[in-house]
């Protein structure tokens, strides 16, 4: 039989390195090897009990069938209320589309927006999936570099300079994965102004809005909702990564187009997870506060520990990642990640696919004990003590 010929589109697609390293760590664990995984960004806390109970109740009530493509109206109402209460934004439920994770919401958006050659401006370092999704949809990611010495802050002027005839959108992600940078109000306001001047869309991924320490989260849509597509979801705020619920809120024609794409792909996000997310969004905020305080302690511990080991690491204002400079390991980031996994048994993601050469990303969404052990193992590998 002749070999199966895959599409050119998929031949160009790079598999997700965050998920690949996580899978490798899980496989080593199954083989009985004690690996500390600081790879995929996933809160280690369990999903709060009242959310699980809502899922059980949904199943008991037979809410196990197809739902409207864009999600049940009750969930879209709960999202509209959340956007009003927490972000000061006014959206109608028909301007909201619920998807299988924030990833599908982003994927639908790029597929709905981009024709071949259309450009999307993306601050770098960026999350591994942004450029891949943009390219898969036929678009071209245009990176705006940001640096560790400036806390990975975005210079709006550098964004403006990259706008050209093919630009369709500017993508921002604050708090950011992988850098943890949180953009101040002024930066976000300027980005929306630049978009408005040139008739572009701002796509703002606000998935980490609640994981924020000494900074304040500002929603881009508060500076002009007609110019902005807001992406968010339940994964990080409520420790619901496996439930796969994300959403987009934005101009209705774009949301309608995204719904049409979803209707021809996944039909609807999981019905049970949708009902659980209603409980998450309308329940107590105690879990979010508890998680934030725990993440803050962990951030402080890991930043201090890595710097003491000579792996220079800026202090992030949000999310649960740090970007460590691995020059002291005298290897590039791919090789450093390999020896960290194989010799120190600590799984980290190389900076390569984040456009962060010379750095590795560590997720500190794990216990203080695990963080202490990871630092000890890395220290042993380097022959130093933190």
Smallest distance from ligand GLU to CB 199, Å: 30
18 in contact with ligand GLU (CB under 6 A): yes
**Given 47, 97, 177, 230, the residue binding ligand GLU (CB under 6 A):** 177
Cα(291)–Cα(303) distance, integer angstroms: 18
* Ramachandran angles phi, psi of 331, nearest 5°: -145, 160
Greatest extent of the chain over all pairs of C-alpha atoms, in Å: 60
183 in contact with ligand GLU (CB under 6 A): no
Q: Which is nearer to ligand GLU, 89 or 340 (CB)?
A: 340
Helix (H) or strand (E) holding 248: strand 246-249
208 in contact with ligand GLU (CB under 6 A): no
| Residues in Cβ contact with 46 at an 8 Å cutoff, skipping those fewer than 6 apart | 239
Residue ranges in 120-149 that form contacts with ligand GLU under rule CB under 6 A: 127, 129
Smallest distance from ligand GLU to CB 60, Å: 31
Smallest distance from ligand GLU to CB 39, Å: 7
Cis peptide before 178 (omega within 30 of 0): yes
Smallest distance from ligand GLU to CB 127, Å: 6
- Span interacting with ligand GLU, options 14-22, 110-118, 211-219, 302-310, rule CB under 6 A: 14-22
152 in contact with ligand GLU (CB under 6 A): no
274 in contact with ligand GLU (CB under 6 A): no
Dihedral Cα 294, 296, 302, 304, nearest 10 deg: -140
| Residues in Cβ contact with 30 at an 8 Å cutoff, skipping those fewer than 6 apart | none
366 in contact with ligand GLU (CB under 6 A): no
Q: Which is nearer to ligand GLU, 194 or 340 (CB)?
A: 340
CA 19 to chain CA mean position, Å: 12
Q: Which is nearer to ligand GLU, 41 or 71 (CB)?
A: 41
How many residues bind to ligand GLU according to rule CB under 6 A? 8
Smallest distance from ligand GLU to CB 105, Å: 13
CA 308 to chain CA mean position, Å: 28
19 in contact with ligand GLU (CB under 6 A): yes
Cα(372)–Cα(309) distance, integer angstroms: 12
Question: H-type helices in the chain, by residue range?
Answer: 8-11, 17-30, 49-60, 73-87, 101-113, 129-136, 156-161, 185-198, 252-263, 271-282, 286-308, 333-342, 368-382
What is the DSSP secondary structure assignment for residue 221, as one 8-state letter?
G
Q: Which is nearer to ligand GLU, 19 or 372 (CB)?
A: 19
173 in contact with ligand GLU (CB under 6 A): no
20 in contact with ligand GLU (CB under 6 A): no
Kindly report each contact of residues 214-217 with a partner whose C-beta sits within 8 Å and lies 24 or more positions away, as own/partner: 214/317, 215/175, 215/182, 215/184, 215/317, 215/318, 216/182, 216/185, 217/174, 217/175, 217/182, 217/318
Q: Comparing C-alpha atoms, which of 209, 173, 211, 186 is closest to residue 321?
A: 211
- Span interacting with ligand GLU, options 12-20, 46-54, 89-97, 155-163, rule CB under 6 A: 12-20
Q: What is the β-pairing status of strands 228-233 and 201-205? A: parallel
40 in contact with ligand GLU (CB under 6 A): yes
Q: Which is nearer to ligand GLU, 107 or 127 (CB)?
A: 127
Q: Which is nearer to ligand GLU, 19 or 26 (CB)?
A: 19
- Span interacting with ligand GLU, options 16-24, 72-80, 196-204, 258-266, rule CB under 6 A: 16-24
Residues that bind ligand GLU (CB under 6 A): 16, 18-19, 40-41, 127, 129, 177
């Amino acid at each position: 039989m002749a070999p199966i010929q895959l599409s050119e589109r998929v031949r160009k697609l790079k598999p997700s390195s965050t998920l690949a390293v996580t899978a490798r760590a899980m496989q080593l664990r199954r083989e009985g090897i004690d690996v500390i995984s600081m790879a995929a960004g996933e809160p280690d806390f369990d999903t709060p009990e009242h959310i699980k109970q809502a899922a059980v109740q949904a199943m008991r009530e037979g809410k196990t069938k197809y739902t409207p493509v864009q999600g049940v109206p009750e969930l879209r109402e709960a999202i509209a209320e959340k956007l009003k209460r927490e972000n000061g934004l006014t959206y109608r439920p028909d301007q909201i589309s619920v998807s299988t994770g924030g990833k599908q919401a982003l994927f639908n958006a790029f597929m709905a927006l981009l024709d071949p050659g259309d450009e999307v401006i993306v601050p770098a370092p960026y999350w591994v999936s942004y450029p891949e999704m943009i390219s898969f949809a036929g678009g071209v990611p245009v990176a705006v570099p940001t640096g560790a010495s400036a806390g990975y802050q975005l210079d709006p002027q550098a964004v403006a300079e990259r706008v050209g005839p093919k630009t369709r959108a500017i993508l921002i992600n604050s708090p950011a994965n992988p850098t943890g940078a949180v953009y101040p109000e002024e930066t976000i306001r300027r980005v929306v102004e630049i978009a408005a001047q040139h008739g572009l869309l701002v796509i703002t991924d606000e998935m980490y809005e609640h994981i924020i320490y000494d900074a304040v989260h500002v929603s881009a849509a508060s500076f002009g909702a007609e110019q902005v597509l807001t992406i968010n979801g339940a994964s990080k705020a409520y420790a619901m990564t496996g439930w796969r619920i994300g959403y987009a809120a934005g101009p209705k024609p774009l949301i309608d187009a995204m719904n049409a794409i979803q209707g021809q792909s996944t039909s609807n996000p999981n019905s049970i997870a949708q009902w659980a997310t209603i409980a998450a969004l309308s329940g107590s905020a105690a879990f979010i506060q508890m998680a934030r305080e725990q993440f803050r302690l962990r951030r402080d511990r890991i930043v201090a520990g890595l710097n003491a080991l000579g792996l220079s690491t800026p202090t992030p204002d949000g999310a649960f990642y740090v970007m460590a400079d691995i020059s002291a390991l005298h290897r590039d980031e791919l090789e450093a990640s390999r020896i960290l996994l194989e010799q120190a048994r600590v799984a980290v993601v190389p900076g390569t696919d984040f456009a962060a050469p010379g750095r590795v990303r560590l997720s500190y969404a794990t216990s203080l004990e695990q963080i202490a052990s990871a630092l000890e193992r890395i220290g042993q590998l380097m022959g130093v003590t933190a």
